[in-house]
Amino acid sequence: MCGIVGYIGQEKASDVVIKGLERLEYRGYDSCGITFYNPEESKFITNKDTGRVAKLLNDNHYPDNNHLAIGHTRWATHGVANHQNTHPHYSMSERFVIVHNGVIDNHKELTFKYLHDYEFRSETDTEVIVNLIEEFAKKISVVEAIRKTISLLDGSYALLVIDTNDTDRIYAVKNKSPLLIGESDKGIVLGSDVLAFVNYADYYYLLEDNSVITVERIKDKFVFEIFDTIGLKIGKPEKHPMDFVTDELDKAGFEHYMLKEISEQPTVVRKIMSEYMVDNKLRVSPDIKAMFHQVERVYILAAGTSYHAGLIGKIYFEEIAKIPAEVFIASEFAYNEPLIEPKSVFVLISQSGETADLRACLMNVKEQGFKTLSITNVPTSTLAREADATLNIYAGTEIAVASTKAYVGELAVLAILARSLSIQHSLDLVYEMSRAAVAMENIVDKRDYIHEVVQQTIKGEHCFYIGRGIDYFVALEAALKLKEITYIHTDGLAAGELKHGPMALIEKDVPVIAIISQDHINNNTRSNLEEAKAREAKPLVISLENTSKGNDDIVLMDVHRLLSPLITIIPAQLIAYYKALDLGVDIDKPRNLAKSATVE
Ligand code: F6R
């Protein structure tokens, strides 16, 4: 979702900002822009339009000695993706320039109350913010005007603001949308994700909500200060070195990040095993175990792929740990809370750790005094920091918008958590996970075969995945993968439900893909597939060695039945990948989607 980057320093500021925006491209966007100070013309210049960041760089001139810039990638929320709605936005007199990540819920009321004399050039809520700053700065200092503005805003926002009368300062604000500061001897960089700082910062700082930041050049030094919303100076937060592996950010010879990330999944499982291994057992820390002491029910909250991992997490909690569990889509739970048992623990699953729907839930349940545990791939993320405790999935940076390795990472950590909480389950997780990693490798190695299967089977505009029990939950994730990167309409169905309505959509050659990893429902799912075949559907079976029959199309190595989702999802990810490849669509950045959904 929207990404922001700002820089002031000795490097060519437009390069730092544009390279930073490129690093944030994975979040998903449909337009982008930059404002920088051009010393050749002694004025601020803005370049912006729909399309890719590369165009922003290639179609425009940036003098070498520009030292201050702010930029933005926009994922449309208020107003379509067009030139006018693209950030940066100017105030009416063009004194102030702003980029904004987030959503302002009361922008209409604020316009009506304070800005009736203002003309607006876009349909965005952001223009209201910049005009409020302009209005208030007529009577008070700029920083006071910013503080007054944010005191009126309802919603989420990370902002970078430039006063065009001042070529040596960027103002920034963070509330509910991500914003971090990066620092090097050469300058200060601001951005929505630490990835934007790669090559331009040695250290980074995480910011708390309601921080107001000034970044400025003082003589030949570049410094930042952080204030609260009433103007009191806050000490600098903890400094983190930029020591993560930048190799992760390259495609390592793969044509797409998605294929690279699919291939990394066995390594992710092994990495998780090494991180959670204690005395030859896979365990979470005693503090986290203690959170579940006498727990009556676990509530799992998540969105999208992480929600699908959560559905399997429920099975793990109930079958392995014998703790009742419920799973909710975060955006539903946030505004339709069920009756909650007093001794409940909330487990929030999120690859990014920034999903706004989930954060809204976290705030609600924390306020009610419930214990919260987040499971994320980004230990510095908002959810990791704000939950009572957090578990890292160690999947490494996931760049492709379609989540793959984070899903298996979430499953593996959920299994470890459930096993740690179980009193006497016989599951030997070290042995079973090691076997699963081998089975995962085996199917990744056979990916060319999956490509052939795709070319023979996946045709037309509709597709169905079916399964029962744990396979049904994998079918949901498999369908999400196919639809999000190929744009083929795909549903994941409980196999038994096919005849209760969806069968009406089955006609000649519609692919129906059955996932069959569980012995006790093997025949039932096969019967449902037969019913689809009788309507001339094109069947495809993904099974394990011990559930396979006759001519099953994709037969995977056997693994423990509870760990089968780690394996059965891989052919489905590859089916999606190869179909998208054959269709020639943008695999890593599917249309309309954002990697990090930072608005509710
Ligand atoms: C699908 C996908 C999304 C995310 C969802 C939640 O491939 O990536 O469905 O799973 O937006 O994101 P996180 O896990 O970051 O909270």
Query: Does 305 contact ligand 1 (Cβ within 6 A)?
Result: yes
In a domain, 381, yes or no: yes
Q: Given the CA of residue 304, which atom of ligand 1 is nearest to it? A: 9
Mutate to test the pocket of ligand 1, among 301, 351, 598 (most ligand atoms within 8 A of CB): 351
Closest among 41, 168, 45 to 97, alpha carbons compared: 45
Smallest CA-to-CA distance from 450 within 407, 423, 481 is with 481
Supply the CATH number for residue 340's domain. Answer: 3.40.50.10490
Minimum-distance ligand 1 atom for the alpha carbon of 305: 10
- 471 CA → ligand 1 middle, Å: 20
Is 595 marked active-site? yes
pLDDT range class, residue 280, cuts 50, 70, 90 = confident
pLDDT in tens, 183-231: 999 999 999 988 899 999 999 998 989 999 999 999 889 999 999 999 9
Mean pLDDT taken over the chain:
94
Ligand 1 and 303: CB distance under 6 A: yes
Q: Are 480 and 492 in contact (CB under 8 A)?
A: yes
CB atoms within 10 A of CB 557: 16
pLDDT, tens digit, 9 for 90 and up, residues 123-178: 999 999 999 999 999 999 999 999 999 999 999 899 999 999 999 999 999 998 88
Is residue 557 in a domain?
yes
Residue 145 Cα distances to 20, 118, 134, 209, 290, angstroms = 28, 17, 8, 18, 47
Do 217 and 272 fall into the same domain?
no
- Assess whether 228 and 261 both reside in one domain: no
For the segment 562-572, the average pLDDT, to the nearest whole number, is 98
Compute the distance from residue 351 Cα to the ligand 1 centre, in Å: 7
What DSSP character marks residue 248? G
Q: Whose CA is nearest to atom 3 of ligand 1?
A: 304
Banded model confidence at residue 246, pLDDT cuts 50, 70, 90 = low
Cα 303 to ligand 1 centroid, rounded to whole Å: 6
* CB burial readout 493-527, b (16+ within 10 A) else e: bbbeebeeebbeebeeebbbbbbbbbeebbeebbe
Residue 544, pLDDT above cutoff 60: yes
Q: What is the 3-state secondary structure (H, E, C) of 19-78?
A: HHHHHCHHHCCCEEEEEEEECCCCEEEEEEEECCHHHHHHCCCCCCCCCEEEEEEECCCC
Mean pLDDT of 546-561: 95
Taking only the tens place, the pLDDT of each residue in 12-22 is 999 999 999 99
Same domain? 42 vs 175: yes
384 in contact with ligand 1, CB cutoff 6 A: no
Residues 518 and 438 in one domain: no
289 and 204 in a common domain: no
Do 439 and 485 lie in a common domain?
no
Per-residue pLDDT tens digits for 345-360: 999 999 999 998 999 9
DSSP-based helix, strand, coil % in the chain, nearest 5: 40, 25, 35
The verdict on 47 and 158 lying in the same domain is yes
**Catalytic residue status for 371:** no
On whether both 94 and 197 belong to a single domain, the answer is yes
Position 244 pLDDT exceeds 80: no
Q: How many domains does the chain contain in total?
A: 3
Strands (E), 228-343: 233-234, 239-241, 277-278, 281-282, 297-302, 325-329
Q: Would 591 be classed as within a structural domain?
A: no
| 422, 432: one domain | yes
Domain annotation covers residue 597: no
Answer whether residue 64 shows pLDDT above 90: yes
- Tell me the Cα Rg of the chain: 25
* Contact status, residue 348 vs residue 208, Cβ threshold 8 Å: no
Query: Of 396, 415, 444, which marks where a domain is finished?
Result: 444
Residue 245 has pLDDT above 60, yes or no: no
The answer as to whether 596 is a domain residue is no
Place of tokens 């979470």: 284
What pLDDT does residue 592 have? Answer: 83
Domain CATH for 70: 3.60.20.10
Single-letter code of the amino acid located at 89: H
| pLDDT at 93 exceeding the cut of 90 | yes
Of residues 268, 277, 317, 306, the one with CA closest to residue 436: 268
Q: Is residue 594 part of a domain?
A: no
Evaluate if residue 26 carries a pLDDT over 90: no
The answer to whether residues 364 and 507 belong to one domain is no
Asked if residue 105 and residue 48 are part of one domain, the reply reads: yes
Phi-psi map region of 219: left, alpha, beta (phi>0 left; psi -120 to 50 alpha): left
First to last CA, the chain: 11
CA distance linking residue 50 with residue 371, whole number of Å? 43
Question: Which of 257, 306, 593, 600 for a ligand 1 pocket mutation test, highest count of atoms within 8 Å of Cβ?
Answer: 306
Q: Is residue 599 part of a domain?
A: no
Owning domain of residue 315: 256-444
Q: Specify if 550 maps to a domain.
A: yes
**CB distance 376 to ligand 1 below 6 Å:** no
In this structure, are 17 and 158 located in the same domain? Answer: yes
> How many Å apart are CA 148 and CA 599, to the nearest integer?
23
Distance CA 65, CA 573 (A): 46
pTM equals 0.82
> What single DSSP character describes residue 316?
I
Nearest-angstrom CA–CA distance, 506 and 317: 36
* Ligand 1 contact via 374 beta carbon (within 6 Å): no
Cα of 407 from ligand 1 centre, angstroms: 9
306 lines ligand 1 (CB under 6 A): yes
Alpha helices in 446-587 (DSSP H): 447-457, 470-486, 522-533, 564-583
Do the beta carbons of residue 207 and residue 180 sit within 8 Å?
Answer: yes
Q: How far is Cα 25 from Cα 593, in angstroms, rounded to an integer?
A: 11
Q: Which of 444, 460, 488 delimits the end of a domain?
A: 444
Pick from 193, 211, 244: which residue ends a domain?
Answer: 244
Is 484 touching ligand 1 by the criterion CB < 6 Å?
yes
